[in-house]
Structure 1
Amino acid sequence: MKEEIRNSAAATSPDALPDPLPDTERVTIDEAGRLVVPARFRRALNIRGRQQLVMRLEGDTIRLRTPLAALARLQEMARRKRKGSGSVVDEFIRERRAEAARE
Structure 2
Amino acid sequence: MSRNRQYRSEPDQPISGVSEAPTAPFHLQLQIGADGRVLIPSELRRQMRLEAGGVVNAELVDGELRLLSPAVALERLERLFAPLRDGPSLVDELIADRRAEAARE
Q: TM-score, normalised by structure 2?
A: 0.48
Larger radius of gyration: 1
Structure with a larger share of its residues in helix: 1
The answer to which structure, 1 or 2, has the higher relative contact order (CA under 8 A, 6+ apart) is 2
TM-score between the two structures when normalised by the length of structure 1 = 0.49
